């Protein structure tokens, strides 16, 4: 059976640890490969390689770095289908969905291609007599990314293009559930002309994560995952003197007002809830139906949930693939059963779905729950599966109150035809990313991605302007160039601009 190795200093590396983990094909339920699990020594090897590469890469010209990014971007375009199929085979999502995540990740590469303008400093002439001030930003050094299974290409692409283009070297620790995309990207970087050691991949579990968080040679860590692990990453890495981006979990609400186009709203909420089998941190997991919109909305959602085509991700026309693991399938189906016992109405029951020819796959169908309350587990927990809960309220203000009382604040959406309602909603909800008639409001690469409350631990969103700030540090330089033999009196008092 194939073993997926690490990628260190420009080539595949077996590592020192004999430990491996299984990699499944979620559509068949069969183990298809093993992935090497890094020891602390393997992480140290990667840090050593990245540290050596930083010495020259950080001194490379901005033109050289952006030329690599342009070449890398073109390779992502040319190999989109191949990379999409690699993702689908290990994650389970459809190939079309995988191509979509590659496209969104590629947008960050395109942002990195234009860093020449973003990295321009400022200059102030004659702040005092004969004194000028200017500032600029420099890279940190070796930085690392720890990324989740649900977007094995896109989420790492939110990190490493900006880190590398600003002059850092990078170590990626992807999810061990779908590790092959990271190695494929590493090969594309090498073909794009990126020097060895600038981009490295170490696979592994907690030992590898802890080695990254505590290694003295790592300057910063970016993380996307569940909130409890985000807290652990933030606390551990900051305790060891590192900068940290730590993005956590979510419970995203889509509010539907009576004046909304219900067919339009239900169509987009269905896609937002069940796309990628609900395994998205920006998935719509709660539909908040306001007033008399509720009955009609649930009726349309029921019809649309029944129309979702479920099957293997590499089959044309399929809209939703399997969950990533057997444990995920069991957890989601148990959650539907728990919701029923707690009083929710199971309008559409996705449990027990069997796909012909793939009976051992980790499939579950779309589930739709009505009359869910905020005290139920189906509302409180991040299910990370194809389950949509409908909560009924009487007014927009009550809907805003429900959202604001939730501990998460990642994304939310409002479906309405009222500009006044939209403005009130976007100003009053305590959420970081908001969509108006847009169900999954992931911002473009030149804006930053990040939620509020328990969805973002610390204060560092990802990519866009915040990404530039995170992967660089500023210097401010004050200069004076006196004429030869010119006498400049020095004072013992605190210097001023006089």
As annotated, the active-site residues are 281
Nearest-angstrom CA–CA distance, 421 and 404: 16
Angle at the Cα of 306 (from 305 to 311), degrees rounded to 5?
Answer: 95
Nearest-angstrom CA–CA distance, 313 and 94: 4
- Residue 46 burial by Cβ neighbours in a 10 Å radius (0-12, 13-18, 19+): buried
3-state SS class at 334? helix
CA-nearest of 310, 317, 313, 302 to 365 is 310
3-state SS class at 29? coil
- Residue 172 burial by Cβ neighbours in a 10 Å radius (0-12, 13-18, 19+): buried
Distances (CA, A) of 58 to 62, 132, 347, 457, 468: 9, 26, 57, 29, 15
Nearest-angstrom CA–CA distance, 322 and 303: 21
Helices (H), 436-482: 464-471
Contact 104, 442 (CB under 8 A): yes
* Strand 220-224, strand 169-173: pairing: unpaired
């Amino acid at each position: 059976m194939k073993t997926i190795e690490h990628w260190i200093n420009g080539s595949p590396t077996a590592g020192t640890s004999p430990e491996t983990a299984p990699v499944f094909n979620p559509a068949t339920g069969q183990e298809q490969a093993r992935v090497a699990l890094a020891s602390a020594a393997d992480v140290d090897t990667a840090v050593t390689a990245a540290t050596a590469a930083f010495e020259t890469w950080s001194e490379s010209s901005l033109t050289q770095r952006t030329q690599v990014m342009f070449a890398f971007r073109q390779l992502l375009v040319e190999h989109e289908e191949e990379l999409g199929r690699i993702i689908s085979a290990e994650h389970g999502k459809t190939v079309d969905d995988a191509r979509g995540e590659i496209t969104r990740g590629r947008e960050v590469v395109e942002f990195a291609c234009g860093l020449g303008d973003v990295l321009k400093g400022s200059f102030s002439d004659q702040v005092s007599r004969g004194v000028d001030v200017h500032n600029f930003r420099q890279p940190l050094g070796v930085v690392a990314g720890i990324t989740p299974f649900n977007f094995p290409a896109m989420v790492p692409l939110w990190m490493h293009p900006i880190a590398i283009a600003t002059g850092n070297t990078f170590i990626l620790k992807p999810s061990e559930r779908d590790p092959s995309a990271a190695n494929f990207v590493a090969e594309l970087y090498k073909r794009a002309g990126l020097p060895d050691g600038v981009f490295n991949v170490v696979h592994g579990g907690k030992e590898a994560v802890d080695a990254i968080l505590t290694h003295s040679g790592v300057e910063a860590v970016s993380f996307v995952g569940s909130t409890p692990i985000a807290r652990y990453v933030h606390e551990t890495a900051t305790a060891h003197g590192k900068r940290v981006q730590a993005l956590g979990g979510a419970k995203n609400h889509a509010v539907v007002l009576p004046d909304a186009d219900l067919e339009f709203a239900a169509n987009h909420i269905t896609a937002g809830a069940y796309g990628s089998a609900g395994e998205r941190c920006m998935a719509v997991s709660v539909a908040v139906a306001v007033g008399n919109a509720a009955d009609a909305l649930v009726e349309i959602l029921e019809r649309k949930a029944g129309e979702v085509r479920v099957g293997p991700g590499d089959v044309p026309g399929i809209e939703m693939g399997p969950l990533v693991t057997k444990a995920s399938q069991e957890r989601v189906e148990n959650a539907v059963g728990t919701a029923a016992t707690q009083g929710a109405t199971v309008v559409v029951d996705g449990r027990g779905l069997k796909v012909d020819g793939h009976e051992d796959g980790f499939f579950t169908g779309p589930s739709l729950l009505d009359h869910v309350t905020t005290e139920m587990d189906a509302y409180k927990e991040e299910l990370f599966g194809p389950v949509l809960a409908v909560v009924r309220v009487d007014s927009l203000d009550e809907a805003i109150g429900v959202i604001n009382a939730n501990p998460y604040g990642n994304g939310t959406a409002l479906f309405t035809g009222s500009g006044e309602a939209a403005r009130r909603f976007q100003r009053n909800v305590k959420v970081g990313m908001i969509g108006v008639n847009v169900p999954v409001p992931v911002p473009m690469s030149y804006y930053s991605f990040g939620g509020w409350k328990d969805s973002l631990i610390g204060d560092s969103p990802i990519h866009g302007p915040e990404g530039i700030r995170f992967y660089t540090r500023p210097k401010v330089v004050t200069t004076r160039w006196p004429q030869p033999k010119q006498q400049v009196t020095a004072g013992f008092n605190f210097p001023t601009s006089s």
